[in-house]
Amino acid sequence: MKEFCSLCGIEPVSENSGQGLCEVCELNLFQIDQILEAYMKERSPPSWITNIAYELDFIYKRNLRTRAYFNAAQEVIYRFSVEKEPNFPLDNIKEINQSQIPRHKILTILENAYLIEIKDFRVYPGALTRKLQNIRWEGYALNETQMVLVRQEIKGILSIALTRALIETKEFIPREALSILNLLSQQMLKADGEIGREIRTYRQRIAFARITPRQSRFLIREMGGFGNNSEVRICKDIDDEGNLILKDVVIDYLTRMRERWRERDRERYRE
């Protein structure tokens, strides 16, 4: 009997998967791990990684189940970068105290997103928060481009770290986030040569098969710049047929990530 992917439940398990995943879901997780690893290992991740972080800041915007994580993140970042607190007690994050989500879950996500570090029961700025602090202390106003980009990057990395944690803990499957990654994974897998600039409507339907039509429409509107912040994400345009036209930075990301994915496959073959 055919075995189906343990994550999406739709596609059959990939022949070489040791995790019970289909090829697309494997590539989704590979993307997540590669992005987080770049922040973990490198003091300054390559621009193609930070560029994609900017593009993924919207994927939990409407998700009420994850709002507590973002509220807590906003609080600690504000306290460190605007109020300039050097550190504060572990039990003194007000948004966590107001949340029904267990404290340790929120703190773990904030640590994994490089927003905080915990030492001796006190909270200190993490690597990404220090990046924001440094720009702030150089005299930049909150509305200047440098500050806006770092806040956007923080939301993107928090979204990626949260997606990974939700999958690992099996708290719930973050289907909207995975649908966006699915769009990117399909674009990598279906191109033998140069990665195409268009994500056609039928590919969108495949990627969004795990979420409702309303959720799909919301994500497409957000990508098209019709969300709260009026900024396009991932695509630079949507043509008359509904195809998404990808940004240059996204094409660059997909090209580089696909090469890493292929290198992983080559290493498996050599073994």
Interval 163-178: pLDDT, tens: 998 888 888 899 999 9
- For the chain, the residue count is 271
Residue closest to 231 by CA, chosen among 152, 170, 159: 152
Interval 7-24: pLDDT, tens: 888 888 887 777 789 999
What pLDDT is attached to residue 85?
95
Q: State the pTM of this model.
A: 0.86
Q: Report if residue 48 sits inside a domain.
A: no
First-last CA distance in the chain? 29
Identify the H or E element spanning 268.
helix 248-270
What pLDDT is attached to residue 271?
59
How far are the Cα atoms of 8, 15, 23 from residue 12, in angstroms, in the given order?
Answer: 9, 9, 9
Q: Report if residue 260 sits inside a domain.
A: no
Distance of alpha carbon 114 from alpha carbon 102, whole angstroms: 19
Number of domains in the chain: 1
Report the half-sphere exposure of 5 (CA within 13 A, side-chain side).
18
Whole domain around residue 132: which residue ranges?
A: 64-172
Distance of alpha carbon 1 from alpha carbon 143, whole angstroms: 57
Dihedral over alpha carbons 193, 17, 45, 57 (to 10 degrees):
90
Q: Report if residue 75 sits inside a domain.
A: yes
What pLDDT is attached to residue 1?
66
Q: Report if residue 18 sits inside a domain.
A: no
What pLDDT is attached to residue 181?
97
Report the half-sphere exposure of 92 (CA within 13 A, side-chain side).
10
pLDDT of residue 269 exceeding 70: no
Q: Which residues contact 69 (CB under 8 A, 6 or more apart)?
A: 101, 106, 109, 110, 158, 162
What pLDDT is attached to residue 42?
61
Q: Report if residue 94 sits inside a domain.
A: yes
What pLDDT is attached to residue 266?
78
Residue 109 phi, psi dihedral angles, 5° rounding? -65, -45
Q: Report if residue 227 sits inside a domain.
A: no
% of the chain with per-residue pLDDT over 90: 61
106: how many CB neighbours lie within 10 A of its CB?
19
- The rounded mean pLDDT for the chain is 90
Q: Report if residue 108 sits inside a domain.
A: yes
pLDDT of residue 268 exceeding 80: no
Q: Report if residue 251 sits inside a domain.
A: no
What pLDDT is attached to residue 141?
83
What pLDDT is attached to residue 150?
84
Is 125 within 8 Å of 75 (Cβ atoms)?
no
